[in-house]
Amino acid sequence: MAVEAIIFDFDGVIIDTETAELEVWQAFYRAHGLDISPELWAKRIGYNEEDAFHPARYFEQITGTVLNEAQREDQFRRYVEHCARLPVLPGVRELIEAASQRGIKLAIASSAYREWVDRWLRQHHLSHLFDCIRTRGDVKRGKPAPDLYLSAADCLGVPVKHCIAIEDSPAGISAALAAGMRCIAVPNPLSARMALPEATLRLNSLAEMDCETLLAQF
């Protein structure tokens, strides 16, 4: 079945902001003689804010210490500074550019806020390559519900059966499959430890295949 559109998750697929956020919070916890495990952090990956694990809230629960606004802002600043040093993940830019040249429509379906996605797309000069961006503010239900992917496909004007989703997390893969899309799973170092739903194709990196070879799988 012809591929007319590729819809990317953002965090963990285009840039590995998920590992970066864990590292920032691990440093904070260790400074207080505590630790935060990747297994616990897994409950944060791919979910909307309402359903995700919250490191600040968890710290308050286990210590009884409420973080003030300055502390929360400092953590976010450290996270943004870490993300600003991150590259686009291997093979991502090449796939985006090659697919665009072939006339394949491109979109993002992210559980993050639009401002967050736009910030890093601008930094890496990728914004102009996407035909549509859908984020948590565009739908009532986030991943693992299919709404973000359905909204992105509708925005592109492409039937879901002609779309491929690229995801890294269980919630994201479940959302894409529930939308009726074929899905490429490309887990990052955190989500690789998790039990993932059975995707159409699983890769360790998008650099494993060029665009032509990848599309031939579908």
Active site residue ranges: 9, 11
Q: What residues contact residue 142 under an 8 Å CB cut-off, 6+ apart?
A: 47, 48, 50, 51, 111, 136, 148
CA–CA gap between residue 133 and residue 118 (Å, rounded) = 9
Q: Which of 27, 82, 25 is nearest to 58 (CA)?
A: 25
